[in-house]
Amino acid sequence: MAQKNPYVTKRREQLLAFFQAREGDCFSARDLLGEPTLPIPEATVYRLLSSLTRQGKLRRFVLDGGGTTYQYNDARQCGTHLHLRCVACNRTLCADGTDLGAVAAAIGARHAFAVDAAKTVLYGVCGDCGKAGTPCP
């Protein structure tokens, strides 16, 4: 059976445009519900987040405390590189074009362990927060 095209609504387009305009930033459902530029009902926000994640338009990150954030997923292949998460501002960056892929390959070769790059996140402090003097915990 062929995959159905997603039902495109004004609210879906608003939410997707919000994420596209803030590429690299992560937002929880609560963040979105408090956003004045997104007058979208709560149930619709949750439904759209699930739908856009299934379609590959958003990436979902589970936080240490049990919360979840979402980030715009552009055409890059996030399964081929690691991710960097700032513990100060919660921004998640794609580490494409770096030697981190070689680190994952070395771990795999040395320990006979296949690293899932799409789910691997390194935690630290981003350059912006570092300039502001935010220490790494």
Residue 2 confidence (pLDDT): 47
pLDDT for the residue 38:
93
Residues 51 and 88 in one domain: no
pLDDT (0 to 100) of residue 130: 84
Residues 95, 115, single domain; the answer is yes
What domain count does the chain have? 2
| Averaged pLDDT, groups of 10, the chain, 137 residues long | 65 94 87 93 96 90 81 68 80 73 84 82 86 71
Closest listed residue to residue 117, CA positions, set 82, 93, 85: 82
Residue 100 maps to which CATH number? 3.30.1490.190
pLDDT attached to residue 21: 92
Sequence-separated (6 or more) residues with CB below 8 Å from residue 136? 87, 124, 125
59 shares a domain with 23 = yes
Q: Which domain holds residue 62?
A: 10-72
Assess contact for 68 and 60: CB atoms under 8 A.
yes
Say how far residue 55 (Cα) sits from the centre of its chain: 14
Largest Cα–Cα distance of the chain, in whole Å?
Answer: 54
Residue with tokens 């570092």: 130
Distance (Å, whole) CA 76 – CA 78: 6
- Which of 72, 93, 121 is the last residue in one of the domains? 72
56: alpha, beta or left, given left = phi > 0 and alpha = psi -120 to 50? Answer: left
pLDDT at 6 (0 to 100): 62
- Give yes or no: residues 55 and 91 share one domain: no
Which residues are bridge partners to 121 per DSSP?
83
CA distance linking residue 65 with residue 47, whole number of Å:
22
Same domain? For 64 and 93 the reply is no
Domain boundary among the residues 57, 72, 87 is at 72
* DSSP-based three-state secondary structure for 45: helix
Instruction: Note whether residue 106 is domain-resident.
Output: yes
